[in-house]
């Protein structure tokens, strides 16, 4: 069953990937027409032609490099006792999982009951891939129907940045070309302005769509969050320390740790408010960016520029915000107090 499910995902990813490649390749014929007809035949400026050609195709090649890296690279799989979980087909050795050290099966977030394997911090089980992913950010159908995780997130940022810059650049160049065509209608043929307007419109649309997505992920890196951590405030419940004593007369008695469905309205609101100021892994914006896009090996910046690469570290352990434990303890006390009020 797992084998068939995996094959289904692969087949679906094969059908989706060409759409992404098509978005990158479709504008190229029109872009070459604009460069040749406008910058060479009309402006007669070979240096400007060469500059536009070099910048646009450098960004295009870099986008392809990061896209291929995302598709071919595993996003990160949790280990058991230092060894990779599962074989090449993705099956899990349940005996190894059960014999792993320091496991607390009863604690949510410490052990995956679907993979039967330990689940390190920031690891989540992807329903689409049928496996756990280290520092899972989200599952992307447009990039090979794969998860964006610890080993591919920097490449994902790289891809977004290249696409946004490419769209802005081509859109800006073509918009100025359209202005020239309207101002000098007799100096240019009838077909080139159509290519210029199409590319200018496509550049604006892609900038408006991909650009905010890039800005959002830059915010996530600055605060050291993943998409799942940012949109799921109740993940904080897994990190709470032991709750203060609760009386048997309390209307809403909470488990250890509390579960989302047990919370009253006021308790849920407390958790949502706390999610706004409790950043478990926030080490300051400099430390956060260094953790995500930093490198350890000499000339590691080359890999970052070319393909983006993976995040720094092993994807299993992360430094925590020194203020997080105090804030979590205060949240635990507030949850119990809110329970007593009701």
Residue 61 lies in a domain: yes
Query: Does position 61 have pLDDT exceeding 50, yes or no?
Result: yes
Residues 18 and 157 reside in one and the same domain: yes
Q: Which residues span the domain enclosing 232?
A: 227-341
Query: Does position 153 have pLDDT exceeding 90, yes or no?
Result: yes
Q: Count other C-beta atoms under 10 Å from residue 324's C-beta.
A: 16
Nearest to 58 by CA among 154, 142, 152, 165: 165
Residues 105 and 240 reside in one and the same domain: no
Summarize pLDDT for 218-271 with one digit per residue, the tens. Answer: 999 999 999 999 999 999 998 998 888 876 555 567 888 888 888 888 889 999
pLDDT category, 119, cuts 50, 70, 90?
Answer: confident
**Chain mean position to CA 209:** 16
Residues 21 and 63 reside in one and the same domain: yes
pLDDT category, 3, cuts 50, 70, 90?
Answer: very low
Residue 102 lies in a domain: yes
Among 36-40, 73-77, 205-209, which range has the highest average pLDDT?
205-209
Residues 327 and 237 reside in one and the same domain: yes
Residue 219 lies in a domain: no
Query: Does position 209 have pLDDT exceeding 90, yes or no?
Result: yes
**Chain mean position to CA 15:** 21
Nearest to 243 by CA among 259, 261, 255, 260: 255
Residues 57 and 194 reside in one and the same domain: yes
Domain end marker among 104, 119, 148: 148
Residue 222 lies in a domain: no
Question: Residue holding tokens 């989540």?
Answer: 124
Residue 159 lies in a domain: yes
Query: Does position 12 have pLDDT exceeding 50, yes or no?
Result: no
Residues 183 and 233 reside in one and the same domain: no
Residues 159 and 293 reside in one and the same domain: no
Residues 128 and 43 reside in one and the same domain: no
**Residue 186 and residue 190: Cα distance in Å, rounded?**
9
Q: At 162, phi and psi to the nearest 5?
A: -65, -45
pLDDT of res. 247 = 66
Residues 139 and 176 reside in one and the same domain: no
Domain end marker among 148, 163, 184: 148
Nearest to 52 by CA among 169, 198, 203, 179: 169
Residue 215 lies in a domain: no
**Can you read off the two tokens belonging to residue 281?**
């892994």
How many separate domains does the chain show? Answer: 3
Residues 253 and 298 reside in one and the same domain: yes
Residues 281 and 327 reside in one and the same domain: yes
pLDDT of res. 336 = 85
pLDDT of res. 77 = 87
**Chain mean position to CA 34:** 34
**Prior bond of 257 cis (ω within 30°):** yes
Coil, strand or helix: which one is 103? Answer: coil
Average pLDDT of the residues in 135-154: 91
**Residue 61 and residue 58: Cα distance in Å, rounded?**
5
pLDDT of res. 13 = 46
- CA dihedral 335→339→341→342, nearest 10 degrees, is 140
Residues 256 and 299 reside in one and the same domain: yes
Domain end marker among 148, 168, 188: 148
pTM, to two decimals: 0.84
Q: Count other C-beta atoms under 10 Å from residue 161's C-beta.
A: 20
pLDDT of res. 300 = 85
Residue 108 lies in a domain: yes
pLDDT, mean over the chain: 83
Residue 217 lies in a domain: no
Nearest to 136 by CA among 206, 211, 235: 235
Summarize pLDDT for 78-105 with one digit per residue, the tens. Answer: 875 434 443 333 333 334 334 444 444 4
Interior/surface letters 2-21, b for 16+ CB within 10 angstroms, e for the rest: eeeeeeebeeeeeebbeebe
Terminal Cα distance for the chain, rounded: 48
Average pLDDT of the residues in 320-334: 92
């Amino acid at each position: 069953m797992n084998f068939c499910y995996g094959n289904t995902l692969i087949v679906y990813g094969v059908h989706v990937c060409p759409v992404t490649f098509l978005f990158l390749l479709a504008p190229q014929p029109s872009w070459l027409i604009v460069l040749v007809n406008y910058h060479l035949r009309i402006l007669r400026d070979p240096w400007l032609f060469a500059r536009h050609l070099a910048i646009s195709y450098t960004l295009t090649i870099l986008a392809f490099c990061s896209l291929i890296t995302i598709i071919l690279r595993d996003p990160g799989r949790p280990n058991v006792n230092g060894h990779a979980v599962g074989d090449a087909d993705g099956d899990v050795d349940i005996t190894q999982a059960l014999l792993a050290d320091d496991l607390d099966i009863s604690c949510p977030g410490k052990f995956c009951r679907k993979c039967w394997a330990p689940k390190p911090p920031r690891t989540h089980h992807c329903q689409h891939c049928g496996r756990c992913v280290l520092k899972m950010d989200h599952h992307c159908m447009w990039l090979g129907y794969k998860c964006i995780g610890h080993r591919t997130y920097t490449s994902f940022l790289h891809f977004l940045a290249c696409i946004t810059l490419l769209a802005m650049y081509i859109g800006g160049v073509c918009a100025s070309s359209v202005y020239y065509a309207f101002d000098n209608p007799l100096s240019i043929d009838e077909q080139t302005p159509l290519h210029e307007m199409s590319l200018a419109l496509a550049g604006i649309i892609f900038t408006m769509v991909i650009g905010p997505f890039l800005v959002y992920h830059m915010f996530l890196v600055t605060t050291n969050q993943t998409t799942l951590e940012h949109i799921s405030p109740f993940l904080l419940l897994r990190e709470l320390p032991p709750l203060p004593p609760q009386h048997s007369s309390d209307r809403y008695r909470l488990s250890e740790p509390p579960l989302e469905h047990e919370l009253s309205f006021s308790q849920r609101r407390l958790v949502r408010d706390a999610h706004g100021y409790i950043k478990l892994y926030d080490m300051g914006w400099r430390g956060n960016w260094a953790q995500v896009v930093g490198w350890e090996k000499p000339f590691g910046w080359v890999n970052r520029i070319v393909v983006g690469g993976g995040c720094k570290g092993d994807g299993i352990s992360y430094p925590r915000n020194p203020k997080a434990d105090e804030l979590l303890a205060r949240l635990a006390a507030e949850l119990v107090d809110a329970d007593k009020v009701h």
